[in-house]
Structure 1
């Protein structure tokens, strides 16, 4: 096709996508113009900086606790993190919904609707995040017992959660505002939300845990402070800089519950599948002893640090797709998925090769060289690239489903992978190859659902275009 012909086709698409008089004169969405690859790279890089900063700080926080010389405290914070992960999964689902709704409105050049949706979503998110954080407090004892925590470890986890869980409302609101900033295309300020909270924790952790001797309570206080900063940074960017927060009105909040829940509920269910799957794998691995479980703990620290870019990509692609769907730019939507797919292959390939080359050095860093733990960690480093290539494909596919009106597909794929793609593969792997067999088994399960997910994502774009 000639260049002129391509321009004519693009113009025709924009004309057909015209939202009508209600939005006449509004700004076009930032992501509906320019290089799709550049948008994917910029948004992913910005999101990755903030995410990796948080992952590094979480790692250091646990490290400081371990320096206190009481393994029970370290274990307690580990158990507390599992509980917090469920709350965070709900917050992520709400953030996905906010970003999807606001980006669609901006893509359709309806800025006033975007402001209304953002304001309504803040009220709804604050209510849900507060309910989750405070509602879990009376059930901490049975929850931690279910996870296997007892004695001093359980007491330490309860002390941590009594401070950190109520601050979940600040984290939920901050993440929702980050979703608004991504929807408008402000990658830099979206990054500032998580980065600012991470920097506060990095400074507060050593002061409160080691300097003042607050121990577990110090780590929890630093976590709560960082979440307040999340909220402040998000309000400044989305409200003050972009003016994307209208004054909430009860009638609008109630009317906007349905579109919010239509995306948020499936997204939350999809996110919760991951901790459930991880818990099952850990229970199978625990049959091989404490050293095998120690390897799982180290791998859980390695994965977000090394593959945080893949996590960030799934959040970055959503608003870009959402704006182009709002503008009915189906040609760009296909290109965005191809760009995201290319980024996953290149990044995961490079990181997987790096981990394979330094695999023997990682156990030395964690002081487990020459043990069963070290052997398993080194083995994971060798196969990590293969495993995370297909996990990355599913991440991109889920972002597409959540932002293009197919959120139930995201839920279905995540739970299918967490069950059919994990349970039989992990059990068969354990039977045939022990702990290494488990790691290989869940890698093979990821292949099936990663490929199926990305192929289905391309199919859904074609379905939308035909409609």
Structure 2
């Protein structure tokens, strides 16, 4: 495994497909550890024999996804800035950026947690939760949400590790947390008898484990963080903001789209919502490699961009798309073969089973288009065009979701909602392909400053970049 300890950039040489494959697989293994525990959570909760519990987890997961999107956006800023500075040979500035993003993540995590907790019933009601399901979802969220600041530091630490090319330790951190969660789940849910509360408490303890496992090597092995300084954080706000705000907005769009879908599905009953909750846990386990692409491709693009190796930047995007196509086809075939055992595992019947079968069939192939969007967003964020990611994601999860989901619901019920959502993804994947091709074709000189510093944003988008 390629690793670094002194600020060396490892992605400037070597086979790009090998880099993409290694980073994607190692990053995805870590993600899969977390997603697999969520999957096991849902299996255990289904064993309790109450569809309201599964539906509650579905609503809670959508809201927690929304809050965690802020952390994802900040980690994207950390990864992009650190990788770019390492590629340019500015290791001290890379440390400062990592530290500043971590501090800002703590502040945002604490602030957002307080705001959401005081308006918890309101937010869950907007998603369509009612009665007992609303009460259960609110209790679940209230246990996990106060650790949002923990996840902010966790995700920044893992982004820093990946920026240094150390995907192995980033992966290990999430595996440790996943193991802790998997061990605690049956103990707290069944042995102690805490039920849904037990699943939430296990998740909190797992987050703390990941925090220790991610930050420790980032500091000890790579010296990836500096001593926090208020003055340095304030001075770094501008370059961090240039990437973080569009990245946060980009990632917030995803739970907005999910909220639209789950609200449309909710009109078809608790069984349909339970089916969505199962799919929501199954999808990231099956396609963790696709979900990992943004974090995996970003450091490769960022280091080569910082070093001015633009031909490798272009080839990295194409390698990411080819890798996505191969993996999605392989996993879609696997899901199709295993669709009946998967449905049986959740004791799924009726509408719940129909939705699981749909996902394990044609919808699985649609994950290729999600992968193209992920690779494109990573390219935009690391090439000084994070606002493109924002436009694409919001378009995909609003105009590319709501009208298609509504039409699908009218034509084919709950399955039509998912099919409509998938169709919107196809359209916006095509748009991403077009935009990335244009962006990389205009790269002619290294970028050594914040793309938005001292410039009008419209000049950046349409003037200075040759558009």
> Shared fold by TM > 0.5?
yes
1:423 maps onto 2:402 in alignment: yes
Q: Distance in 1 between matches of 2:203 and 2:345?
A: 26
- 1:182-203, Cα deviation, whole Å (9 max, x unpaired): 1000010111222211111111
1:347 maps onto 2:347 in alignment: no
Q: Distance in 2 between matches of 1:68 and 1:147?
A: 24
Match of 2:338 among 358, 371, 381: 358
Note if contact 2:46-2:346 (Cα within 8 Å) is conserved in structure 1: no
User: How is 1:73-92 mapped onto 2 (pairs within 5 angstroms)?
Assistant: 73-92=53-72
Deviation, 1:168, is 1.2
Gaps of 5+ in 2: 1-5, 446-464
Deviates more, 1:284-293 or 1:391-400: 284-293
Note if contact 1:425-1:438 (Cα within 8 Å) is conserved in structure 2: yes
**Secondary structure of 1:34's aligned partner:** coil
Specify the structure having the higher radius of gyration (Cα): 1
Q: Distance in 2 between matches of 1:85 and 1:28?
A: 34
Deviation, 1:320, is 0.9
Deviates more, 1:209-218 or 1:315-324: 209-218
Note if contact 2:406-2:417 (Cα within 8 Å) is conserved in structure 1: yes
Deviation, 1:215, is 2.6
1:386 maps onto 2:361 in alignment: no
Q: Distance in 1 between matches of 2:20 and 2:107?
A: 32
**Secondary structure of 1:465's aligned partner:** coil
Match of 1:52 among 18, 32, 37: 32
Q: 1:206 to 1:359 in 2, by over 3 A?
A: closer
Aligned residue for 2:433?
Answer: 454
**Secondary structure of 1:197's aligned partner:** helix
Match of 2:240 among 247, 257, 260: 260
Q: Distance in 2 between matches of 1:225 and 1:362?
A: 28
Q: 1:31 to 1:340 in 2, by over 3 A?
A: same
Q: Distance in 1 between matches of 2:199 and 2:288?
A: 23
User: How is 1:263-302 mapped onto 2 (pairs within 5 angstroms)?
Assistant: 263-302=243-282
Aligned residue for 1:96?
Answer: 76
Note if contact 1:80-1:157 (Cα within 8 Å) is conserved in structure 2: yes
Structure with greater helix share of residues: 1
Note if contact 1:97-1:264 (Cα within 8 Å) is conserved in structure 2: yes
Note if contact 1:50-1:191 (Cα within 8 Å) is conserved in structure 2: yes
Q: Distance in 2 between matches of 1:65 and 1:73?
A: 7
Match of 2:98 among 78, 96, 118: 118
Deviation, 1:450, is 0.5
- 1:42-95, Cα deviation, whole Å (9 max, x unpaired): 111111111111111012223333434444444433332222111111110011
Q: Distance in 1 between matches of 2:195 and 2:410?
A: 41
Q: Distance in 2 between matches of 1:350 and 1:105?
A: 36
Deviation, 1:243, is 1.0
**Secondary structure of 1:288's aligned partner:** coil
Match of 1:437 among 416, 432, 446: 416
Deviation, 1:311, is 0.3
Deviation, 1:260, is 0.9
Note if contact 1:54-1:198 (Cα within 8 Å) is conserved in structure 2: yes
User: How is 1:36-75 mapped onto 2 (pairs within 5 angstroms)?
Assistant: 36-75=16-55
Note if contact 2:265-2:417 (Cα within 8 Å) is conserved in structure 1: yes
